[in-house]
Amino acid sequence: MKILLVAPDGLGVDAVSEVRRVQQYHDVASLYGTVTPDDIYRAVQEKSFDVLHFATHGGPDGVLLSNGVILDAETIAQFVRLRETAGVFFSACQTGRLASYCARHGARWAISSEVDLSDAEAWKLAAAFYSHQRNGHAKDFVGAFRLADDGDGDYALHVSLEWIADLQRLAATAATIPHAAALTRQEAALWAGGTLGATAALILLILKLAGVV
C-alpha cells in the first residue's frame, strides 16, 4: 500500500512514533518540516497514493499545516479526486466532519478521530489498522478497521455511499445468469447466490459500523 503521510513539524504534535510504525508496514512517502498545500498537491500530482494520512492538529474546519494554514475538507477532497485516492486517515482531533465530507466527495473511505487525541495514544489505531491491512486485509478496509478499533467510539469509519451503491449493483448483476459463461444453470445459480450473499453481508457490516442498523 502506498501512503502519503503529512506530518508538519513545529505544531506541538509528536508524530515520530506514528510515522515509524506506519513505515514498518507500507510504502510511505512523508512530508515533514514546513508543509504547505502546494507541497501536498505536488506530491499527489506526481504519484498515485492509496491513502492520504494526516498526523497533525485538526478540527471541524480542517487540519493544520505549517504557518497556521488550515487545510479544509474540500481541498483535501480535491487532492483525493486528483488521482482517485481510495482512503483518508485523519490522525487528528475532532475530524469526523472532514472524514464524512471526503467519503461523500471522492474517497471510498475515511477514518476520523471523534475526540481529542494525545500523542501517547494517537499512533495506536493507525499502527493496528495498517498492520491488519498488510496481514490479510490489503483490500478490506472494513475488516482492518474492525480488528484495529476497540469500539470505544473514539474513532469512526466513514464509507462512501456511492461505493455501497456499486456493491448493490454488483450483487444484482451477480444474481443474473452469465449468458457467455460455460456454466450449467445450477453452477451459475450457486455462483450468483454465493456472490450475492457475500456482498449483502459486507453491506450489512458497513451499515452496522456506521450505526445505521
Residue 91 has phi, psi (to 5 degrees) of: -90, 70
> Domain containing 177: what range?
161-209
99 and 166 assigned to the same domain? no
29 and 129 assigned to the same domain? yes
88 and 10 assigned to the same domain? yes
Alpha helices in the chain (DSSP H): 16-25, 37-46, 73-82, 96-104, 119-134, 141-148, 161-174, 185-209
170 and 115 assigned to the same domain? no
Q: How many CB atoms within 10 Å of residue 192?
A: 19
Which 3 state secondary structure label does DSSP give 89?
A: strand
Those residues of the chain that have pLDDT short of 50 are 212-213
In the prediction, which pLDDT does 126 show? 85
DSSP string, 166-177: HHHHHHHHHTSP
Which 3 state secondary structure label does DSSP give 75?
A: helix
In the prediction, which pLDDT does 50 show? 94
92 and 183 assigned to the same domain? no
144 and 72 assigned to the same domain? yes
Convert the pLDDT of each residue in 44-97 to its tens digit: 999 999 999 998 999 999 999 999 999 999 999 999 999 999 999 999 999 999
In the prediction, which pLDDT does 2 show? 92
Residue 102: closest CA among 92, 117, 87: 87
State the total domains in the chain: 2
In the prediction, which pLDDT does 112 show? 95
CA of 5: how far to CAs of 35, 55, 126, in Å? Answer: 11, 7, 11
CB-based contact 102:131 (threshold 8 Å): no
179 and 91 assigned to the same domain? no
93 and 173 assigned to the same domain? no
In the prediction, which pLDDT does 12 show? 62
Domain CATH code at residue 155: 3.40.50.1460
CB-based contact 133:26 (threshold 8 Å): yes
Residue 211 burial (C-beta neighbours within 10 Å; 0-12, 13-18, 19+): exposed
Q: Which amino acid type is present at position 8?
A: P
200 and 140 assigned to the same domain? no
70 and 169 assigned to the same domain? no
In the prediction, which pLDDT does 160 show? 95
In the prediction, which pLDDT does 86 show? 95
In the prediction, which pLDDT does 88 show? 97
171 and 142 assigned to the same domain? no
CA of 109: how far to CAs of 118, 132, 197, 206, in Å? Answer: 24, 16, 22, 11
In the prediction, which pLDDT does 24 show? 67
